[in-house]
């Protein structure tokens, strides 16, 4: 495999894992008029990267990577899976992480089978593990020879791209404004990637209470376009 080409493919918005069906609480923010235009969309996107993704999914990706580098046992991965499940309080978010993981693992198995990924998928399907997307992404990226820095950068960007795409659909904002947000927040992504390795373990799982509440509210929202 070519690491760069593999990374581009698994990180492409057209890679069919179903992430486009999830807004991760954004739909509630929009319906309540909190995120309503380009400036508020940019603030929302930046806050999500800084105060949610950095301490959660990006941190989980890095923790998985460290276990792989340290050649840890299956028990360590089991505990990490349980920790992530416990830290994802809203039900919709836990289910989204599981669904994306399963779809990602099934699809990459068809492209280039990786034993550790197949084992993770089997344990999820057997009910022995919950299953989480950042873990699945890390397992496959590591096996593909992709560097941690590149994997994190791509993961942050793909997350941001999803947020901005959802903003374009829900608010809506123009495609030009959407691209401007993506470009302007490149510096934020680079900063967070550089800081990721220095993140104190005690801060992993730090939540955005507002986002968690909006995600929980979304479960009972009367009208909605997104699964989460």
Each residue's pLDDT tens digit, 144-193: 999 999 999 999 999 999 999 999 999 999 999 999 999 999 999 999 99
Tokens matching residue 155: 């993961």
Q: Say whether 89 sits in a helix, a strand or coil.
A: coil
CA 109 to the chain's CA centroid: 20
Is it the case that residue 117 has pLDDT exceeding 70?
A: yes
User: What's the Cα-to-Cα distance from 36 to each of 27, 137, 180, rounded to whole Å?
Assistant: 11, 32, 17
The region of weakest confidence among 35-44, 130-139, 152-161, 208-217 is 208-217
Q: What is the CATH number of the domain that holds 30?
A: 1.10.4190.10
Banded pLDDT at 18 (limits 50, 70, 90): low
Structural domain span for residue 122: 3-218
| pLDDT at 228 (0 to 100) | 66
For 48, other C-beta atoms within 10 Å of its C-beta total: 20
Q: Say whether 2 sits in a helix, a strand or coil.
A: coil
Total structural domains in the chain?
Answer: 1
Instruction: Indicate whether 227 belongs to any domain.
Output: no
| pLDDT at 193 (0 to 100) | 98
Model confidence, pTM = 0.94
Tokens matching residue 46: 């930046």
CA gap 164, 182 in Å, rounded? 7
The region of weakest confidence among 5-9, 39-43, 215-219 is 215-219
Instruction: Indicate whether 107 belongs to any domain.
Output: yes
**Cβ proximity of 189 and 157 under 8 Å:** yes
Instruction: Indicate whether 122 belongs to any domain.
Output: yes
Q: Which tens digits make up the pLDDT trace of 68-89?
A: 999 888 889 999 999 999 999 8
Instruction: Indicate whether 226 belongs to any domain.
Output: no
Of 155, 136, 132, the residue nearest 54 (C-alpha): 155
Instruction: Indicate whether 88 belongs to any domain.
Output: yes
Instruction: Indicate whether 223 belongs to any domain.
Output: no
Instruction: Indicate whether 193 belongs to any domain.
Output: yes
Tokens matching residue 70: 């340290």
| pLDDT at 24 (0 to 100) | 82
Q: What is the mean pLDDT of residues 97-126?
A: 94
Instruction: Indicate whether 163 belongs to any domain.
Output: yes
CA gap 185, 180 in Å, rounded? 9
**Cβ proximity of 149 and 7 under 8 Å:** no
């Amino acid at each position: 495999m070519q690491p760069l080409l593999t990374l581009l493919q698994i990180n492409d918005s057209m890679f069919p894992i179903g992430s486009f069906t999830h807004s991760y609480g954004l739909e509630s923010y929009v319906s309540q008029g909190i995120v309503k235009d380009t400036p508020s969309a940019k603030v929302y996107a930046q806050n999500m990267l800084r105060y949610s993704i950095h301490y959660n999914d990006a941190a989980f990706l890095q923790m998985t990577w460290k276990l792989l580098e340290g050649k840890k046992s299956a028990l360590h991965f089991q505990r990490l899976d349980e920790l992530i499940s416990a830290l994802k309080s809203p039900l919709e978010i836990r289910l989204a992480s599981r669904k994306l993981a399963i779809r990602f693992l099934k699809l990459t198995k068809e492209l280039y089978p990786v034993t550790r990924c197949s084992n993770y998928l089997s344990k999820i399907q057997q009910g022995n593990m919950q299953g989480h997307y950042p873990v699945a992404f890390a397992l496959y990226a590591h096996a593909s020879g992709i560097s941690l820095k590149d994997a994190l950068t791509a993961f942050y960007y793909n997350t941001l791209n999803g947020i901005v795409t959802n903003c374009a659909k829900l608010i809506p904002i123009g495609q030009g404004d959407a691209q401007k947000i993506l470009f302007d927040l490149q510096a934020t992504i680079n900063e967070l990637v550089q800081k990721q390795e220095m993140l104190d373990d005690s801060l992993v799982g730090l939540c955005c209470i507002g986002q968690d509440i909006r995600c929980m509210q979304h479960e009972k929202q009367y009208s909605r376009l997104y699964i989460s």
